[in-house]
Structure 1
């Protein structure tokens, strides 16, 4: 890492979900380590989780009155033009006052107005697109953006090819080497070494259909001598915590030691949000993706399919769980060769230096701007 005595002003926007917020924070942390003494300002949506998470990470944040467009006619949709005008006006004020050297967007409602204003003022902009299928905001911003960092191949279908750099998504550094943590993980979760462990991940809030599936399959897992680490999400903790009394089942609202949970797992069931997919490529375990169908552009299915196309994971759609899950899971259990093949193939897709590579691109924009 090249540390510089030069200082800059960085403005970042990413929010709505952890998948947008944590990459932005990771990029800011890497920039801070390279350019000690630089100034940072985040811009988010007023009522979203970034207003809490960004200050917890030690950064200042300004909130815009902005939200997405709903799929059906609602009062929120009627308010959208007013919110957009308000957000563009406030973004102009923020940028005029802060005077950033570069603007970075990692997705979310607020990144649209902020980067639009930055582009109009000639400030270098970088977009970090986490998904295999970008949303409308990043498609629009890409026309004026200087650099677009992506996590999947083939995005020249949506973005100007000359601006695209394949970097991957920022991931937690403690996930890069989990193989050596298996013994510690078994102790941490009180697991038996001679039984296979299934890790179920539904995101921080939880995934209703995934939780329903796991609840309905507890006897099925018991019959196959599977021990279960079930992250059900905070919305569902009360509903499912009673199953902690079962042998071989432990229910968690949230997993604070994700590295050890991954290290303990022999098979993983997961949603297919961009950050989760990037982490799972690095972790390198057999994965069954159950994408959420209730997201914009059905991007989780597209994220999962990009991995499945490389014979690196299994995809079961929510609509096929009742008919297909048992058969798919039993085939995976019976074939150690299949599990090893999935591990090998998904690891090939890992991009472990994403944060560094994205900040290298920011650095190039700074140098061009100084010339």
Structure 2
């Protein structure tokens, strides 16, 4: 029997790819054949091909809110991308397109609309990105991670689902994590995450804090490419990695407290794993402010402590650690009660309801 087909699309950052990959095992289990449309050179190409999924690269222009001479040429790339996407969709004839955001999705959802193929989109953040704003009129349904995001979309289109979480993060082994980090005792473990490139400000303040906390905690510091400082090996129980991939599930399982930026995918993984956390969202000078809103929502719900990146100090990180430790049971109780942990089943349900 011929399988149903679904086209996944999204790109520009790992955050636009991870939820798509999280859905792949479940989509395959219920009988979908999967292919992916992304940009020709974006990060999504490597991630998707590594997962063994058929990949198509199309022309895509960046959509900017600021002046740039490329604003005059990129619309032509988008038009070419629509033509590319039309050819692919006519060839693959999917039952539905699932769009995760990023500039590459715009030509894909427009092409799907032209061909009468249903589109379900997903917005991770409280405020939609520019690409999702442009794509919305061409979508049948918009899945949102946060209830606060509903106000940005028409009521008949929006569904609060949460975000799909990767199944593998629930399969961690704390003992394997302990072996990887070479910890020799059972002190509480702090995990610091700043993204694949690291976060300079967070790295600096954590390292200033090491003399005060290294005796009390074991510390796993994912500090970003090129940011390992070998001079700090003198601190027992402090281990640095540029980044980890397959082993991250084991480090998650081992960790008691997480200090991190506030990307939606990451913080919903912390919530799903019941990991109390300190969030240091990107400031408005470095972003459109979406991480700040994400973090504020988590703080309001009693899942997190939020610190201001512009006023970050080793002292306020230390105070936040003490507060988390003192009120750990309260944070854990709030997280366990949450109904928006893993949105995988919710998103799959919306896809099935809207497949033609």
**So what's the TM-score if we normalise by structure 1?**
0.87
Give the total of aligned pairs: 354
1:102 aligns with 2:96: yes
In 2 relative to 1, CA 296–350 (structure 1 residues): closer, same or farther, beyond 3 Å? farther
In 2 relative to 1, CA 96–182 (structure 1 residues): closer, same or farther, beyond 3 Å? closer
Q: Which residue of 2 is the match for residue 116 of structure 1?
A: 110
Q: Which residue of 2 is the match for residue 303 of structure 1?
A: 294
Mapping of residues 56-205 of structure 1, within 5 Å? 56-70=50-64, 72-176=66-170, 181-205=173-197
Q: Which whole-Å deviations, capped at 9, do the CAs of 1:210-247 have from their partners, x for residues lacking one? A: 2222223222323x52221000122424xx24433432
1:273 aligns with 2:267: no
Q: What is the alpha-carbon distance in structure 2 between the residues aligned to residue 127 and residue 334 of structure 1?
A: 38
Q: Which residue of 2 is the match for residue 219 of structure 1?
A: 211
Aligned residues of 2:271 and 2:341 also touching (Cα < 8 A): no
Q: What is the alpha-carbon distance in structure 1 between the residues aligned to residue 155 and residue 299 of structure 2?
A: 24
Aligned residues of 1:142 and 1:148 also touching (Cα < 8 A): yes
The alpha-carbon deviation at position 60 of structure 1 amounts to 1.4
In 2 relative to 1, CA 303–63 (structure 1 residues): closer, same or farther, beyond 3 Å? same
Unaligned 5+ residue runs, structure 2?
none
Mapping of residues 192-341 of structure 1, within 5 Å? 192-222=184-214, 225-237=216-228, 240-255=229-244, 256-293=246-283, 296-322=287-313, 325-330=314-319, 332-333=321-322, 336-341=325-330
Q: What is the alpha-carbon distance in structure 2 between the residues aligned to residue 71 and residue 165 of structure 1?
A: 27
Q: Which residue of 1 is the match for residue 9 of structure 2?
A: 13
Q: Which residue of 2 is the match for residue 25 of structure 1?
A: 21
Q: What is the alpha-carbon distance in structure 2 between the residues aligned to residue 289 and residue 167 of structure 1?
A: 22
In 2 relative to 1, CA 236–336 (structure 1 residues): closer, same or farther, beyond 3 Å? closer
Q: What is the alpha-carbon distance in structure 1 between the residues aligned to residue 296 and residue 274 of structure 2?
A: 17
Q: Helix, strand or coil for the counterpart of 2:74? A: helix
In 2 relative to 1, CA 335–64 (structure 1 residues): closer, same or farther, beyond 3 Å? closer
Q: What is the alpha-carbon distance in structure 2 between the residues aligned to residue 358 and residue 334 of structure 1?
A: 35
Q: What is the alpha-carbon distance in structure 1 between the residues aligned to residue 263 and residue 123 of structure 2?
A: 12
In 2 relative to 1, CA 335–357 (structure 1 residues): closer, same or farther, beyond 3 Å? closer
Q: Helix, strand or coil for the counterpart of 1:314? A: strand
Structure 1 residue ranges (4+ consecutive) displaced by more than 6 angstroms after TM superposition: none
Aligned residues of 2:150 and 2:160 also touching (Cα < 8 A): no
Aligned residues of 2:37 and 2:56 also touching (Cα < 8 A): yes
Aligned residues of 1:142 and 1:160 also touching (Cα < 8 A): no
Q: What is the alpha-carbon distance in structure 1 between the residues aligned to residue 324 and residue 309 of structure 2?
A: 24
The alpha-carbon deviation at position 298 of structure 1 amounts to 1.3
Q: Helix, strand or coil for the counterpart of 1:154? A: helix
Aligned residues of 1:198 and 1:267 also touching (Cα < 8 A): yes
Aligned residues of 1:133 and 1:303 also touching (Cα < 8 A): no
Q: What is the alpha-carbon distance in structure 1 between the residues aligned to residue 338 and residue 225 of structure 2?
A: 31
The alpha-carbon deviation at position 340 of structure 1 amounts to 1.9
Most deviating of 166-175 and 16-25: 166-175
Q: Which residue of 2 is the match for residue 355 of structure 1?
A: 344
Unaligned 5+ residue runs, structure 1?
none
Q: What is the alpha-carbon distance in structure 2 between the residues aligned to residue 133 and residue 86 of structure 1?
A: 28
Aligned residues of 1:307 and 1:346 also touching (Cα < 8 A): no
Q: Which whole-Å deviations, capped at 9, do the CAs of 1:135-185 have from their partners, x for residues lacking one? A: 12212322331121221112221111222222211112233376xx44554
